[in-house]
Copies of this chain bind each other. A is one copy, B any other.
Amino acid sequence: MFVLGIDPGLSRCGYGAVRRSGAELRAVACGVITTPPEQPLPERLAALAGELRALLAELRPDVVAVERVFFQTNVRTAMSVGQASGLALVAAVEAEAGVAQYTSNEVKQAVVGYGAATKEQVQRMVQSLLGLAERPQPADAADALALALCHHAQAPVQARIEAARVAAARR
């Protein structure tokens, strides 16, 4: 299974792709999409949407794991993070990939085993799990790789929960 993690953001949108073959987990790509802060919001969102589409067309992941965002103290940032997450979810559906969403705490719990782990702890575990020579940089890219790793860990559980949900909804 090939999973692309996306840590949505307008100024910095992290992505990280992890392929699993048997027991082996391998980082295929990671990086950050940025949009210029001096541009108007609609143009920045459109640029991000275009970059996300291009990334999905290039990588063709089976599943896209997007961080589930909540409201922060900074209302302005939270709104643009919400808008960016919407674009990521739509890009995933339109690329015919499966879509999963995890909160930051769920990712930390799955990857570090501790929901309140620090960014540095996440980076170390991502490095270790993927056998990388160096700690993945920047933090947004590491978070995106962690999202992909979280989905690799959670997918079997999620599949069972989803099947039960669908069955319950049809009753």
Which positions in A face B, CB cutoff 8 Å? 38, 40-43, 45-46, 49, 69-71, 75, 78-79, 82-87, 89-90, 92-94, 99, 101, 169
- Per the bound structure, the CA–CA distance linking A82 and B81 in Å amounts to 9
**Chain B residues with CB below 8 A from A83, complex form:** 82-83, 85-86, 89
Report which residue of A41, A101, A169 has the largest number of chain B beta carbons within 10 angstroms of its beta carbon: A41
Q: Is B82 touching A45 in the complex (CB atoms < 8 A)?
A: no
Residue of B nearest to A100 (CB): B42
CB pairs A–B below 8 angstroms (29 shown): A42-B89, A42-B92, A42-B99, A43-B93, A45-B86, A45-B90, A45-B93, A46-B89, A46-B90, A46-B93, A46-B94, A49-B90, A49-B94, A69-B79, A70-B79, A71-B71, A71-B75, A71-B78, A71-B79, A79-B82, A82-B82, A83-B83, A83-B85, A83-B86, A83-B89, A84-B86, A86-B87, A87-B87, A87-B90
Copies in the complex: 2
- Per the bound structure, the CA–CA distance linking A40 and B90 in Å amounts to 12
Q: Is B42 touching A93 in the complex (CB atoms < 8 A)?
A: yes
Residue of B nearest to A81 (CB): B82
Residue of B nearest to A97 (CB): B42
- Per the bound structure, the CA–CA distance linking A30 and B36 in Å amounts to 35
Report which residue of A41, A45, A84, A99 has the largest number of chain B beta carbons within 10 angstroms of its beta carbon: A45
